[in-house]
Structure formats: structure tokens, C-alpha cells
Amino acid sequence: MQIAVIGMNQDTAPIHVRNRVAYVESEKIELTTQLLDAGINELVILATCGRNEIYICDYKAGMDNQASIVIDKLSRFFDFPDLESYLYYKKGDEAIRHLYSVTSGLDSIVLGEDQILGQVKEAHHLAMELGASRKILNQLFREAITTSKRIKTELRISEHPMSISYIGVKFLLNKMETFNDKNILIIGTGKMGRLALQYVMENNPGKVYMTNRNHEKVVDLRDRYPDIETVNYNDKHDLLSHVDAVITATASPHHVIRKEDIPEQHRALYILDLAMPQDVDENVVEMKNVVLYNVDSLNKISVENERKRKELSIKANTYIDEKLNVFNTWMVSTKVDPTIKSLNMLRVQVENDTLEYLHRKIELDNKQKKLVDKMVASSLKRMIRNPIMKLKEIDDEEKMHHYLDVLNDLFNLEGE
């Protein structure tokens, strides 16, 4: 068995490429189904504003072939023949270590980003619902989440707000110099939109307008932020002549602001697009007084992040190495499961045959039958208990395979 990841992130693909392979929920489900039908044993799709990754598990030691299937399916699914040139492919320990780093926020644009842990959990949950993540990836993702929590707690890398929304609002504030007396429109009430609203409100803005396709979600925010003004989603473009900045973070598969939606601007209009795929048509930059920033713009402030990343990664890698060894030991132990299962099936078959013969040949009352059943079952379980325990304790993979071959051959088992 082997683990691998095929994907792209902000380091390997520019935002216009990542836009082309950004998923909506229905596409994740459709692609997962296609990959399972194509013979991928287990998989989890992780798609965020900065990355698009597919984690897979191969049971038959043919990982390179499985990875080729994934790349081919991805290219066809998004009608993107050159997609492979933007992808990375990691397998074995490198793939496992990568997931641990991603989940811990060590591989994010924003070091220690809080949102990524929730996104990993959601990706894994969807894969489990679809039957795509089973024994191996379930264990891997549980270990990654546990490792992330330990790293965040002990290294305190998320002690301060470090979400994309926080960095984006801070970035925008630096560009605008102040939010005082500035009118700001926020589009989207998902987690990123709500966080953006929180950080904007902490910086004493002028008027803040909030809109969302589902208007009830905007109204609900009034309980916490009574000073915001709610706007019907269809009226959002009418405000573009009256606001100084727009922050947008929806899950829309299409642009929510196009060039033709923006009237002529007589003062600067700053737009911060935190969505993936992008909410804003990039052609708006051709307009006078319109300034557009997106997720990739935040890379320009990552120098300090990179210094901190190197310092914390040294410490975090100690934890990751420890958990990596734990997971690898567990995964090796799963190789004995088919043989143990076959051995137990043989035991049950012998038990049933023996009891059937005894009950046919000897007249026993119900109490005596139960006693005989219990004794036979207990004796047969005791006979195979030690071999099973020994198998589970072996940490030498070569020795383990030797024992498995001997057992399978001697007892004519069907274990691998």
C-alpha cells in the first residue's frame, strides 16, 4: 500500500491556472465518482483558495499508474491538456509529510492559517460520505488533524489571527492607509466573508455594506454587527459608485463583478478578491481608478512569513517525523489484516464443522450444547491467538512478509 498526492498550489500555478481547476461541490462529487470508477482505491479532494490536491491510496503497489489515471482524468475533466505541467506528484513519506504540513498551516500563504484545518476536515468528511476515504486515508487524515492540533498548540503558530481574510484586510488597509470615513462593500457571508467583516469593523470604517445571494444570512449578521447596512444581492452593482473598497469572497463558479458592471470611477475603487475561482473579472484593471488585488497579491507580503516558517518548520518537523513513523508502523501492520481475517474464517469454519458433527453424534440438552459450543470456540481461538499477536507485533517488513507467506501456504489461506 502507498499514499500519494497530485496537486497544485500558489507556488506551482498562477491564479488564472488555479481558476480553471477550481471546484464547486457537485464537481468534487462527480470527479470523485469518476476516479473510483477508474480504479482508484481511496481518495480525498482538497480544494482551497491556494491549492487543489487529490490524495490517493493504492493497495496494489502500482502508484505511478494510479497517479497517471488521476492526472489524465483531471486534464479531461477540466478540458486542460497542459494541466500536468503545473502539477506536483509526491508519494510515500513525502506525500504524508506534505499533508501534515498542509493541515498544520505550514504550507499556506499565511503561516499557521487557521482556516486550512477546517477545510481539511470538510474535504475528508465529504470523501467519507462518498465512500472514497476508507481505512487507510481515514487513519491518515485523522493523524494529520491530530498532528496539526499539537503543532498549533505547542508552537503557538496560530496565536494571532492569521487567516487569508485577516492578511487580506490588513493588506488592503495598508494600501488605503485608513478605513476611517471609507465606505466598504463586502460580498459573501461564508467563513472568509464573515472574518473579513470582523477585521474591517475592528479598524473603524465609515459605512459597511454587506450582501449575499441568500439575504437571510446577511440579516442574521445584524445581531452581531448592528451598524452594517444590508443590501439585496441584485443591487450590489448600484453601490460601486458609492464605495471606496469591495471585498468579495463567495463560492460562486462565475464572476460576480464583471468589467461592464462597474461604472466610470472618479475616485479610487479598491477591490480585494479572496475567492477561488475568482469573483472579479481581471479585465477591471483596464478601467481608470480601479485597483484589483487577489489571493496571489498576498504573496508579496510573505517575506516575514517565510522567515518564521523556516524557524517553526524545524520544530514542527520533529513532531511530523514522530507521527510519520507512527502512521507507517500502523500501515505496515495492516498488511497482516487479510491473513488474520482468513485465519479467523478458517477457525469459524472448523468450529462450525466440529460442532455440527458433535451435535449430530451426541445427544445433548441445551445447557450441555452451550457448554460444548463455548469450549470448542474458546479452544480454537486460543490456538490462533498467539500467532495473530506475533504477526501484529512484527516491525520488520521483510520478516512479516515471510511469515505471511508461510501461513498462507500452510493453511491455504487467501490473505495477501
Own/partner contacts of 404-412, CB < 8 Å, gap of 24 or more, are: 404/335, 404/336, 404/339, 407/339, 407/343, 408/339, 408/342, 411/342, 411/343, 411/346
Q: Among positive and negative, which fits the CA dihedral 186, 187, 190, 191?
A: negative
Buried-exposed string 210-227: b where 16+ CB fall within 10 A, e elsewhere: bbbeebebbeebeeeeee
Q: How far apart are CA 283 and CA 261, in angstroms?
A: 11
d(CA 7, CA 64): 14
If phi over 0 gives left and psi between -120 and 50 gives alpha, with beta otherwise, what is residue 177? left
The answer to whether the CB of 23 falls within 8 A of the CB of 73 is no
**CA pair distance 68, 60, nearest whole angstrom:** 15
Locus of grid cell 490588513: 170
Residue 57 annotated in active site: no
Closest CA to 263 of 243, 292, 293, 234: 243
The interaxial angle of helices 25-37 and 115-129, nearest 10 deg, is: 50
**Do the Cβ atoms of 269 and 210 come closer than 8 Å?**
no
Q: What angle do CA 81, 273, 170 make, to 5 degrees?
A: 130
Interatomic CA distance for residues 247 and 197, integer angstroms: 9
**Strand ranges, E, within 143-276:** 184-187, 208-211, 229-231, 245-248, 269-273
Strand order across the 184-187 sheet: 229-231, 208-211, 184-187, 245-248, 269-273, 290-294
One-letter identity of residue 56: I
Among 49, 172, 256, 340, which one carries the catalytic annotation? 49
**Which residues participate in catalysis according to the annotation?**
49
